[in-house]
Amino acid sequence: MRIVSLCLAGTLGSSGCLFSGFGSGSADDEDAPGSAAEQLADCRGGVSDAELADTVVIVDDYDNSLHEMVVCGGLAVSLCSAIVNGIIDAIVSRSNDATPAGWTYQGDGVYFTGGVSADMHMRFYLASDFEFGRRGDLVPHNLFLVDSYLVDARATVDVLSGRAEISFAEPGPMVELLGFGTDPPNPLILGLDDLASIDSRLRALELEGTVAVNDAQSKSVIRYDLDIPRMSAGALLDGVGMQYELRMASGSRADLEQQLVVDEWNVEFVQGSRGALTGNIDYHVDGRHFPFRGVMLYDNDVFATKLLSCP
């Protein structure tokens, strides 16, 4: 059994390792399913080996494209991590912007990252009541700008005690997220307990988002639009799975008049020691030569075990 690995450098749409080939990812795995020819022996009819290999290319294309969910999950983690850790670091380094690489703020509470084949939008919502918004409201300001909390902040840090003294020109619109009300003392003195409290308050923010993929693979065009249901930033950072809810999905290959149709979708991103997926995607393919069914099985890994069967 041959497993092909294609690793590309870059950001969303061209990052990570994209895997293809039938099986669970190890050529020595005795429990791995057989080749496409073995799995489809009962329904391939008189199709030649070459035609069979060409017929199932759409499955590899689908598998490769679905890897975007791993990439998007990792980008969501980086976004949440930057909210929790980035602001204090930005104050200390005298930088006003803690936006993580690859992300841009589009205004109106929307954060965006995108590439050649995929776009991702994320939003954050308040988990408590504040003067500037109530629990469940969209966070209306840029979470990654220091000025959103303290305008023109300057910090002096005692490395031994962990105590920070922060002076500022005026409170920003989301200063309450720091935990000192709408009019904090100036300079603001932060100890380790205060930093932990800020960490907890920012981790409580809730995120939700969307992913849109329109991916021209080797011979197929794969499309799917996903919703990311609301969850806390802290939960994602702690390793709780991030659900991908399907809005639409399709796959097509014009020269073989093939259509890949999703029948069942149950997938989530899990962080763990590395980004991975868990769950299953069931689908069927119609078109020239013969129809067949398939399942993508994810078991906390970055690529699927691919099972094929006759209709």
pLDDT tens-digit profile of 260-291?
999 999 999 998 767 899 999 999 999 989 99
Give the residue, 164 or 12, on which the prediction is more confident.
164
At residue 236, the 3 state secondary structure works out as helix
Per-residue CA distances from 311 to 33, 39, 299, 303 (Å): 18, 12, 25, 24
Report the chain's mean pLDDT, rounded to a whole number: 87
- The residues with which 308 forms a beta bridge, in sequence order, are 294
Q: Which two tokens stand for residue 79?
A: 């976004």
- The residue with tokens 């966070």 is 139
Closest CA to 244 of 234, 252, 256, 236: 236
**Long-range contact list for 185-193, CB < 8 A, 24+ apart?**
188/150, 189/163, 189/164, 189/165, 190/163, 190/164, 190/165, 190/166, 191/161, 191/162, 191/163, 192/162, 192/163
Split at pLDDT 50, 70, 90, the class of 32 is low
pLDDT digits (tens, 9 = 90+) for 135-185: 999 999 999 999 999 999 998 888 777 788 999 999 999 999 999 999 999
Chain-centroid distance, C-alpha 78: 9
pLDDT digits (tens, 9 = 90+) for 285-300: 999 899 999 999 999 9
Looking at the predicted structure, is the pLDDT value of residue 89 above 90? Answer: no
First to last CA, the chain: 24
Looking at the predicted structure, is the pLDDT value of residue 95 above 50? Answer: yes
Closest CA to 60 of 265, 260, 248, 299: 260
How far apart are alpha carbons 131 and 129 in whole angstroms?
Answer: 7
pLDDT of residue 121: 98
Domain ranges of the chain: 4-73+221-309, 92-206
Which helix (H) or strand (E) segment is 79 a member of? helix 68-92
Q: Whole-model pTM? A: 0.85
Closest CA to 175 of 202, 155, 154, 148: 148
Q: Is the omega angle on the peptide bond into residue 311 within 30 degrees of 0, that is, cis?
A: no
Looking at the predicted structure, is the pLDDT value of residue 211 above 50? Answer: yes
Closest CA to 125 of 141, 117, 137: 137
